[in-house]
Amino acid sequence: MAALSAWFWNERFWLPHNVTWADLADPVPGVEYPKAGHLLTALPLALGIFAVRILFERFFASPCAQSLHIHPGVGRKAHPNAVLEKVFTSIAKNPDSHHLDGLSKQLDWEVRKVQHWFRHRRNQDKPSTHTKFCETLCRLEHTSPWMWDTRQCWYGYPYQVMTPGLYHYYMTELAFYWSLMFSQFTDIKRKDFLVMFIHHLATVSLISFSYVNNMVRIGSLVMCVHDASDFLLEVAKLANYAKYQHLCDFLFIVFSVVFFITRLVIYPIWVLNSTMFESWTIVGPYPSWWLFNFLLLVLQVLHIIWSYLIARIAVKAMLRGKVCNDVRSDIESSSEEEPDVPREGLKASHGPRENGTNGHCAAAKARVQSHSHSSW
């Protein structure tokens, strides 16, 4: 274990040349540098956030949703059937044609009727708008010299004092993303569960990485840039669930503008310029510097992809004047199984769907919303 620890904490990877862990271990009185052990503080805080969230959803968000006439419940339920239920729970939730034919003969049902049963049974497990409203409602820096002069992120590095405000900001952000990982197991189960779990894990790792080698100044700027647009999307989703269409449209427009400015303009010009060029001049490159900048460049590629998705969905919504389906919608569409029934008829027969609004708010329900809240 000692050899493994020595390999992992190799000073030549983590720190600039001529700097050792011992140099950062015993600062002068009144001065504090980041230490890896500080990261453990975020775990009990994350559990506290998770507990508060559960209480918040139960005792505040739920009554709030009901006051806005967003009621619990799901659409049409599947009629109880022991044979089909056994297949659903133990074999396949979406059986192939071979299974459908066999069940059709066994029950003396038409294949279409068996398909309908499985579709309604799958939708029966989907969360209601009330549940999603409560989940979303729950998600709702101080001025520092390096915020306006990014070269201050590197002057004197890595001997930069950890201020109480910066420490609390970092621990709160880290705890928040730990709590997101915990809550994934109690939240709405979506198709991208594994992807988002890995995404949150990577975010926690990057925040921890920047803290350990004291890149907290530039790290705080990265988090600040990303946090600027996140709350707008969450509020837009609340307006969507509450059926305040015009408010939802307006909020999504504002979100899109802020997202594009922060992710495609401010981030590359302000943050990447500092991490790649200013730090090269002031500090010079070293192994963890290369890794840090590589990950930040990957993040910029993701920004471009997410911006494209947002723009494409928004343009389609405006041009068509109707909903663009959410690619990770929680309620299944039956249009593929019932081609002879008009889409308008389907909406009427199955009740309101998650995307049952129009305009820009349809884009707020796009898959990109689940990724855009990441701080890294």
What would the pLDDT profile of 202-214 be if each residue is shown by its tens digit? 788 889 999 999 9
What is the spatial distance between Cα 372 and Cα 375, in angstroms, rounded to a whole number? 8
What is the spatial distance between Cα 167 and Cα 218, in angstroms, rounded to a whole number? 13
What is the rounded end-to-end Cα distance, in angstroms, of the chain? 31
Q: What is the pLDDT of residue 211?
A: 92
Q: Find the Cα–Cα–Cα–Cα dihedral 273, 226, 45, 52, rounded to 10°.
A: 180
Q: Could you give the C-alpha distances from 13 to 105, 155, 162, 282, in angstroms and in order?
A: 65, 20, 21, 18
For residue 187, what is the enclosing H or E element?
none
Residue 95 lies inside a defined structural domain of this protein: no
Distance of CA 318 to the CA centre of its chain: 25
Residue 248 lies inside a defined structural domain of this protein: yes
What is the spatial distance between Cα 288 and Cα 285, in angstroms, rounded to a whole number? 8
More confident residue, 146 or 332: 146
CB-CB contact of 179 with 42 (8 Å): no
CB-CB contact of 266 with 299 (8 Å): no
Q: Tokens for 313?
A: 């969905």
Q: What is the pLDDT of residue 43?
A: 85
- How many CB atoms within 10 Å of residue 140? 11
What is the spatial distance between Cα 260 and Cα 143, in angstroms, rounded to a whole number? 23
Question: What is the sign, positive or negative, of the torsion defined by CA atoms of 313, 314, 319, 324?
Answer: positive
Mean pLDDT of the chain: 75
What is the spatial distance between Cα 72 and Cα 66, in angstroms, rounded to a whole number? 8
pLDDT at 302 over 70: yes
Residue 135 lies inside a defined structural domain of this protein: no
- Alpha-carbon Rg for the chain, nearest whole angstrom, is 25
CB-CB contact of 96 with 159 (8 Å): no
**Domain containing 316: what range?**
146-323
Distance of CA 54 to the CA centre of its chain: 18
User: What total number of domains does the chain contain?
Assistant: 1
Whole-number percent of the chain with pLDDT over 90? 15
Residue 165 lies inside a defined structural domain of this protein: yes
Residue 243 lies inside a defined structural domain of this protein: yes
pLDDT at 336 over 60: no
Residue 159 lies inside a defined structural domain of this protein: yes
What is the spatial distance between Cα 159 and Cα 24, in angstroms, rounded to a whole number? 7
Most confident of 79-93, 311-325, 344-358: 79-93
What is the spatial distance between Cα 324 and Cα 316, in angstroms, rounded to a whole number? 7
pLDDT in tens, 105-120: 888 888 888 887 877 7
pLDDT at 328 over 50: no
Name 314's Cβ contacts closer than 8 Å, sequence gap at least 6. 252, 256, 360, 363
Residue 11 lies inside a defined structural domain of this protein: no
What is the spatial distance between Cα 267 and Cα 312, in angstroms, rounded to a whole number? 21
Amino acid sitting at position 45: L
Q: Tokens for 331?
A: 């309620």
Residue 72 lies inside a defined structural domain of this protein: no
Task: Count, in order, helices (H) and strands (E) of the chain.
Answer: 20, 0
